[in-house]
Amino acid sequence: MSHANSLRRIKMFHRLGEPDVRAALEVMREQRYETGAVVFHQGANGDTLVVVMDGILRVEVTDHDGVTATVGTIQTGEVVGEMAVIDPAPRSATVIAATDVILLELSRSGLDRLRKSSPSATAGIVGGIIGDVTRRLRTVTNRIDTELDPDKAGVHGSLRKTGLGDRSAPSDEPGVLRRLWQKIAG
């Protein structure tokens, strides 16, 4: 199966048509890592995302006491590091090849080149990133709700009682997303 067919099956890229997928592949680089190789180091500055085309990545986090824990895996067809192409900042985790892996890497500069050559492809990818970030934000918000008031978990129930609801209400999300889009679209 070609990378183009595989890429279209991945949620972040599923909105892209054939020409946009081809344009995206032109700015992406294939990377191969053997089992045990480090793809990202926690704390290192990052400006790339990777799409796992084949294999499994392991995600590890080291706390301030030096204790390292595996916090998840990234499977074939999943993406990791997507915020780095939008907001380069230190990596929040170390990502290691749990098996031999084939990755497609998209850098911040690649996304910028894509924005110039194929704005529709860029819009589709950034829309996918925003969708992913929004889903994660909702998950974290619900986890906070559950921790603060397990009986009222759900749509910001307990956060409203603590006075945090105004800052984290769903109505704020479009503003955050609009600012994020403006930053990317330049």
Per-residue pLDDT at 11:
84
Express each pLDDT in 110-141 by its tens digit.
999 999 999 999 999 999 888 888 888 888 88
Matching residue, tokens 């907001």? 87
Express each pLDDT in 47-63 by its tens digit.
999 999 999 999 999 99
Please report how many Cα atoms fall inside a 13 Å half-sphere around the Cα of residue 106, on the Cβ side.
31
Q: Are 32 and 77 contacting, i.e. CB atoms less than 8 angstroms apart?
A: no
User: How far is residue 181's CA from residue 186's CA, in Å, rounded to a whole number?
Assistant: 8
DSSP state of 113: H
Express each pLDDT in 62-113 by its tens digit.
999 999 999 999 999 999 998 888 888 899 999 999 999 999 999 999 999 9
Work out the average pLDDT over 13-36.
94
Asked if the model's pLDDT at residue 36 lies above 90, the reply is yes
CB within 8 A of 173, min separation 6: which ones? 134, 137
Q: Which CATH architecture has domain 3-113?
A: Sandwich (2.60)
Q: Phi-psi category of 26—alpha, beta or left, where left has phi over 0 and alpha has psi -120 to 50?
A: alpha
User: How far is residue 90's CA from residue 43's CA, in Å, rounded to a whole number?
Assistant: 5
Per-residue pLDDT at 147:
77
10 Å Cβ neighbour count for 156?
Answer: 19
Per-residue pLDDT at 173:
45
Please report how many Cα atoms fall inside a 13 Å half-sphere around the Cα of residue 1, on the Cβ side.
10
Per-residue pLDDT at 120:
92
Domain-by-domain residue ranges, the chain?
3-113, 117-185
10 Å Cβ neighbour count for 2?
Answer: 9
Express each pLDDT in 19-28 by its tens digit.
999 999 999 9
